[in-house]
């Protein structure tokens, strides 16, 4: 019985092919909230104004009472990552927001001096080496924290002048995408993962049995098992707060409104306008990520404005819901399952009626 909820799509006869892939006009309604339901909500994370303060990470943890990253608060278990200012590393069962820090540098067309100690004749006052010879990207990647060479031209907004090299420091707060086609939800055999009336995807802790299918099903690597507990945890978009008319904790705290919460269609309009503004200002590298409803996950509830390729931020460039091909695979299996279910339900109803 545990596999039924996922397989059930196959026998309803209600156009299953369209349910696990491609655009969906109203994902909330499709999830059974046929009466009047709230508009689908989401996050628009505008990384061009992120200051990497990590208020989102802390506000999330405070509200959701998440453990420290090592689950025990043991000091020896935490340590400096050496990856710029990112000591969280990735999204996980105990970190539902994660701010990525990407340092990029690019030599500019100036004579590059060699550097030595003051007064050190052998190095300090020697003739300059011109060109960028000693600044190839490989050498730098080994020598400093997280030098991702810029994939494209620096935009005027963050490109720095006044030095022999330009430095760019990208910051971006990552989170569960609350996909239109959520692989985690689609594979969950217990119904622990469900779509809320707000169109978000949430784990129900009282149902989850820790099978972990969802972990592999997430194209973004978001959902994660807590080791000492076994169950899976991820961003709920503060489902409980939403029921009280509040915004999620991270969006409430975010000092620069890099994280914006709201009705998804409004956020999409705002993001489109923001992108246009940045393009007008000559920020050619700006782009939206997860905004496209025809992408591999049918668009997401938490989408981003990025200043570089998604890979730079550790995001998959072309995510595809892992259950895209499920309908075809389950066509045959579904008929058998339907029969079993039918028998079981009839038996129960029958027995109760007596």
Partner 1 sequence: MPGLGASFGRGGATNTQQDLANADCIVIEGSNMAECHPVGFQWVAEAKARGAKVIHIDPRFTRTSAIADLHVPLRMGSDIAFLGGLIRYVLDNELYFEEYVTAYTNAAALIGEEFVDAEDLGGLFSGFDPETSTYDETSWQYDLEEPPQSDADDPAEAAEQDRTDDAPSVTRSDRAQAAGSGGPPIPGKPKRDETLQHPRSVFQILKRHYARYTPEMVSEVCGIEPEVFEQVAKWVTENSGRDRTTAWVYSVGWTQHSVGAQYIRTCSILQLLLGNIGRPGGGIMALRGHASIQGSTDIPTLYNILPGYLPMPHALQHDDLDDYVADAAGKAGFWGHKRAYMVSLLKAWWGDAATAENDFAFDYLPRINGDHSSYRTIADMIEGKVSGYFLVGENPVVGHPNGRMNRFGLANLDWLVVRDLQMIESATFWHQAPEIETGELSPDSIGTEVFFMPAATHVEKEGTFTQTQRMLQWRDKAVEPPDDARSDLWFYFHLGRILRERLKDSTDPRDRPLLDLTWGYPVHGERNEPDADAVLREINGTGPDGQLLNSYMQMKDDGSTSGGCWIYTGVYADGVNQARRRMPAAEQGPAAPEWGWAWPLNRRILYNRASADPDGKPWSERKQYVWWDEDAGEWTGLDVPDFEKNKRPDYVPPDDARAQDALRGDDPFVMQGDGKGWLYAPAGLVDGPLPTHYEPAESVVENALYEVQANPTIERIPGPWNRENPSRSDVFPFQVTTYRLTEHHTAGAMSRTLPYLAELQPEFFVEVSPELARLRGLTNGEYATLVSARTAIEAKVLVTERMRPIRLRNGTVVHQIGMPYHWSYSGISTGDSANDLLGIVLDANTHIQEDKVSTADIVPGRRPRGPALLEFVESYRQRAGVASGRVGLNGRDPVAAEAGEGSTQT
Partner 2 sequence: MSRVKTWLDSWPVYRQLTGSDPFGRGKAARSKGTEATVSRTATADRVVKSVCPYCAVGCAQNVYVKDEKIVQIEGNPDSPVNRGRLCPKGSASKQLVTSPTRVTTVKYRRPFGTEWEDLDLDTAMEMIADRVLEARKKGWQDEDGGKRVNRTMGIASLGGATLDNEENYLMKKLYSAMGAIQIENQARI
Name which of partner 2, partner 1, none residue 168 binds, using a CB cut-off of 5 to 8 Å depending on partner kind: partner 1
* Two tokens, residue 69: 């990253």
Q: How many CB atoms lie within 10 A of CB 130?
A: 10
CB of 334 to partner 2, least distance (A): 12
Residue spans of beta strands (DSSP E) within 86-196: 97-107, 165-175, 193-195
Residues in contact with partner 1 by CB under 8 A are 48-55, 57-58, 61-62, 67-69, 73, 75, 78-82, 84-85, 87-88, 103, 105, 113, 115-119, 123-125, 140, 143-145, 147, 156-158, 160-163, 165, 167-171, 255-257
- Of the candidates 24, 105, 14, 6, the residue with the CA atom closest to the CA atom of residue 295: 24
- Of the candidates 323, 265, 328, the residue with the CA atom closest to the CA atom of residue 296: 323
What gap in Å lies between CA 10 and CA 202, rounded to an integer? 23
Which residues does residue 302 pair with via DSSP β-bridges, in sequence order?
A: 43
CB of 290 to partner 2, least distance (A): 20
Q: Does 205 help bind partner 2 (rule: CB under 8 A)?
A: yes
Q: Is 96 helix (H, G, I), strand (E, B) or coil?
A: coil
Name which of partner 2, partner 1, none residue 194 binds, using a CB cut-off of 5 to 8 Å depending on partner kind: partner 2
Name which of partner 1, partner 2, none residue 68 binds, using a CB cut-off of 5 to 8 Å depending on partner kind: partner 1
Q: Which helix (H) or strand (E) holds 99?
A: strand 97-107
- Of the candidates 96, 100, 90, the residue with the CA atom closest to the CA atom of residue 67: 96
What x/- string results for residues 95 through 134 when contact with partner 2 is judged by CB under 8 A?
A: ----------------------------------------
Residue 283: phi and psi, rounded to 5, are: -85, 80
Among 19, 40, 168, 274, binds partner 2 (CB under 8 A): 19
Residues at the interface with partner 2 (CB under 8 A): 1, 4-5, 8-9, 12, 14, 19, 28, 30-34, 53-55, 57-59, 62-63, 185-186, 191-197, 202, 204-207, 239-241, 243-244, 246, 249, 252-255, 341, 345, 349, 352
């Amino acid at each position: 019985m545990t596999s039924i909820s996922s397989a059930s799509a196959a026998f309803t006869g209600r156009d299953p092919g369209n349910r696990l892939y491609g655009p969906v006009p109203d994902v909330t309604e499709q999830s059974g909230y046929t009466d009047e339901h709230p508009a689908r909500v989401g996050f628009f994370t505008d990384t061009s104004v992120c200051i990497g303060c990590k208020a989102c990470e802390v506000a999330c943890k405070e509200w959701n009472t998440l453990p420290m990253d090592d689950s025990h608060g043991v000091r020896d278990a935490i340590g400096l990552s050496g990856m710029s200012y990112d000591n969280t590393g990735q999204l996980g069962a105990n970190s539902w927001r994660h701010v990525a820090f990407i340092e990029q540098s690019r030599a500019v067309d100036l004579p590059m001096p060699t550097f030595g100690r003051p007064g050190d004749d052998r190095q300090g006052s020697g003739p300059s080496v011109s060109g960028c010879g000693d600044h190839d990207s490989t050498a730098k990647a080994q020598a400093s924290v997280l030098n991702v060479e810029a994939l494209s031209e620096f935009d005027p907004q963050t490109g720095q002048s006044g030095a022999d090299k330009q430095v760019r420091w990208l910051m971006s707060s990552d989170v569960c995408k609350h996909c239109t086609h959520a692989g985690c939800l689609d594979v969950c055999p217990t119904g622990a993962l469900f779509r809320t009336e707000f169109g978000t995807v949430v784990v129900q802790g009282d149902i989850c049995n820790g099978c972990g299918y969802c972990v592999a099903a997430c194209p973004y690597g978001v959902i994660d098992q807590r080791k000492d507990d076994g169950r899976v945890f991820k961003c709920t978009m503060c489902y409980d707060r939403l029921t009280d008319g509040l915004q999620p904790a991270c969006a409430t705290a975010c000092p620069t409104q890099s994280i914006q919460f709201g009705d998804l269609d409004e956020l999409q309009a705002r993001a489109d306008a923001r992108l246009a503004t940045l393009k007008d200002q000559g920020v050619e590298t700006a782009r939206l990520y997860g905004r496209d409803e025809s992408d591999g996950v049918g668009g997401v509830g938490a989408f981003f404005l990025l200043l570089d390729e998604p890979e730079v931020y550790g995001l998959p460039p072309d995510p595809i819901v892992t259950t895209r091909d499920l309908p075809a695979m389950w066509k045959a299996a579904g008929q058998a399952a339907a029969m079993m279910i039918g028998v079981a339900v009839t038996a129960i109803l029958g027995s109760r009626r007596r």
